[in-house]
């Protein structure tokens, strides 16, 4: 019965569901901390002294987390160590940072004559250290398993955005801002209004406490993935060197997509893929991360908030859900091709153009105060994030067969693109008049 069900769903009946479950839970811990902060932005920007510029600050702080991959890469050249110990340390650190965020997110420090959300920046940096390092540590670790489990890990990585979104939907945003008269009924005084936003069902503190618990569960799942014998039996036929430096044997029967690997699979771009295609895919994934992880998150508030808090809240939560949905769809796609990846990259362009248009035209974007405008901006951002997620996954699965070090370079290319995008957006948001804030009153 189970075999027939697997065949009906297009799932390999030889897989172990316990490994799938643990891989998903492990993947959730990769970016859950950072995604929790992003999903909570509709509430954070209203109280933070940085206001609508808060996302641009956070994106730069998150990119500082790239010091983790740099230190990890440097350490591999100095000594041999077990990656599992470092992964456990990072997940524990992430859980503690999420718990700390619950108690310091609204604290400020006087810096250079202005109040700044320094405690929040510090905890977000620690969460970013976990996320950024996961790109060159967590995903390559999963590369030592059979290829069928890399996609389930990436589904878990997608769920790192889905789960905070579910919690945020339950939490709610309270509603759109209202203008309320505050200076009484004296006819001799000009009317003065203040913006009022109804409160959510529960606050930011319980939200981050839940995130901390989920990160702790992810750590436990990894320990089981590392220790259980049933999981170790699901390793692909690989030779593991220092850290994540390993190569697949060309005759592995359970990894058919990697069967054509050459006799020297450890050499990048000289396996089953030519150098031009290899560089094209690396360039594409870097560009996708430049826009998807670096540039667009910084300007999302300018694109969505003029349509109201509800539209912004739905955009953030649904776009976070688009990530795991795209990964889940890829679960049923048996084979990706370079041509399909390029085609999807072209489809990405009009959605990116509309998102950029709505942010540049703030505080008066197209179809403002119109239900159609709300629907379009939410749908645009949701599809935009979904396309970026699917393209990244498709590229990763194609490059996986080039060996363990290639997955490390995929992580490096992803973080490099994200860094460039964050610096570009930070400069445009904070030092130019390209983006303007909308004031309801």
- Computed on alpha carbons and rounded to an integer, the radius of gyration of the chain in Å comes to 23
Phi-psi region of 85 (alpha: psi -120 to 50; beta: other; left: phi over 0): alpha
Residue 187 DSSP symbol: T
CA atoms 243, 248, 249, 255: torsion sign: positive
User: pLDDT by residue (tens digit) across 6-45?
Assistant: 443 445 556 788 989 999 999 999 889 988 998 888 888 8
Indicate the pLDDT class of residue 355, thresholds 50, 70 and 90: very high
Mean pLDDT of the residues in the chain: 80
Instruction: Specify burial of residue 250 (Cβ count, 10 A radius: 0-12, 13-18, 19+).
Output: middle
Please name the residue ranges forming H helices in 81-203. Answer: 83-104, 118-142, 148-171
186 band by pLDDT with thresholds 50, 70 and 90: low
Looking at residue 9, what is its pLDDT? 43
Strand pairing report for 238-240 and 246-248: antiparallel
- The token duo for 292 is 């998807």
How far is the C-alpha of 12 from the C-alpha of 302, rounded, in Å? 44
User: CB of 23 within 8 A of CB of 121?
Assistant: no
Count of other CB atoms within 10 angstroms of residue 97: 23
> What domains can you pick out in the chain, each with its CATH number?
14-195+203-249 (1.20.1250.20), 274-440 (1.20.1250)
Residue 331 token pair: 């679960």
- Tell me the pLDDT band of 267, cut-offs 50, 70 and 90: very low
- Position 433 scores a pLDDT of 83
pLDDT at 270 over 60: no
**Residue environment code for 206-223, b if the CB has 16+ CB neighbours within 10 A, otherwise e:** ebbebbbebbbbbbebbe
- Mean pLDDT value of segment 346-368: 91
Instruction: Kindly report whether the peptide bond that precedes residue 363 is cis, defined as omega within 30 degrees of 0.
Output: yes
Judged against a pLDDT cut of 80, whether residue 323 lies above it is answered with: no
User: Long-range pairs for 43-52 at CB < 8 Å and ≥24 separation?
Assistant: 43/173, 43/200, 43/204, 44/105, 44/120, 44/204, 45/301, 45/305, 46/197, 47/106, 48/117, 48/120, 49/108, 49/114, 49/115, 49/116, 49/117, 50/116, 50/117, 51/437, 52/301, 52/302, 52/305, 52/437
Within a 13 Å sphere around the CA of 293, how many CA atoms are in the beta-carbon half? 29
CA dist 95 and 88 (Å) reads 11
CA quadruple 70, 75, 81, 82: dihedral, nearest 10: 0
Q: Name the band, by pLDDT with cuts 50, 70 and 90, for residue 136.
A: confident
pLDDT at 178 over 80: no
Tell whether the model's pLDDT for residue 249 goes beyond 80.
no
List the structure tokens of 85.
């110990």
pLDDT tens-digit readout, 104-115: 998 999 888 888
CB 24 within 8 A of CB 331: no
Cβ atoms of residues 347 and 254 within 8 Å: no
Q: What is the pTM of this model?
A: 0.73
């Amino acid at each position: 019965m189970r075999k027939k069900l697997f065949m009906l769903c297009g799932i390999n009946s030889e897989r172990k569901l316990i490994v799938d479950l643990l891989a998903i839970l492990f993947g959730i811990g990769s970016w859950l901390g950072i995604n929790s902060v992003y999903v909570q932005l509709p509430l954070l920007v209203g109280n933070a002294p940085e206001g609508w510029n808060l996302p641009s600050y956070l994106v730069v702080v998150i990119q500082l987390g790239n010091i983790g991959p740099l230190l990890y890469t440097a350490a591999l050249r100095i000594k041999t160590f077990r990656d599992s110990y470092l992964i456990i340390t990072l997940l524990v650190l992430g859980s503690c940072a999420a718990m700390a965020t619950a108690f310091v997110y609204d604290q400020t420090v006087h810096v250079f004559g202005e109040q700044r959300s320094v405690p929040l920046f510090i905890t977000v940096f620690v969460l970013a250290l976990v996320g950024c390092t996961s790109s060159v540590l967590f995903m390559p670790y999963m590369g030592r398993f059979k290829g069928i489990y890399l996609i389930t890990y990436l589904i878990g990585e997608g769920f790192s955005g889905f789960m905070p979104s579910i919690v945020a939907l339950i939490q709610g945003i309270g509603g759109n801002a209202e203008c309320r008269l505050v200076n009484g009924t004296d006819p001799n005084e000009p009317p003065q209004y203040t913006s009022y936003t109804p409160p959510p069902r529960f606050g930011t503190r319980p939200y981050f406490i839940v995130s901390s618990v989920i990160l702790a569960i992810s750590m436990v799942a990894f320990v089981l993935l590392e220790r259980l014998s049933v999981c170790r039996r699901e390793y692909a036929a690989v030779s593991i060197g220092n850290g994540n430096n390993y190569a697949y044997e060309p005759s592995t029967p359970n990894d058919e997509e990697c069967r054509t690997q050459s006799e020297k699979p450890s050499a990048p771009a000289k396996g089953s893929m030519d150098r031009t295609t290899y560089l094209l895919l690396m360039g594409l994934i870097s560009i996708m991360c430049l826009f998807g992880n670096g540039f667009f998150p910084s300007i999302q508030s300018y694109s969505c908030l003029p349509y109201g808090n509800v539209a912004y809240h739905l955009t953030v939560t649904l776009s976070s859900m688009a990530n795991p949905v795209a990964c889940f769809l890829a679960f049923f796609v048996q084979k990706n091709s370079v041509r399909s990846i390029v085609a999807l990259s072209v489809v990405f362009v009009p959605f990116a153009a509309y998102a950029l248009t709505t942010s540049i035209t703030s505080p008066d974007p197209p179809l403002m105060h119109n239900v159609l405008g709300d629907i379009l901006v939410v749908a645009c951002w949701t599809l935009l994030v979904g396309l970026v997620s699917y393209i990244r996954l498709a590229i990763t699965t194609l490059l996986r067969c080039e060996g363990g070090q290639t997955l490390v370079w995929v992580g490096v290319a992803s973080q490099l693109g994200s860094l460039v995008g964050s610096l570009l957006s930070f400069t445009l948001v904070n030092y130019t008049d390209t983006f303007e804030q909308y004031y309801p009153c």
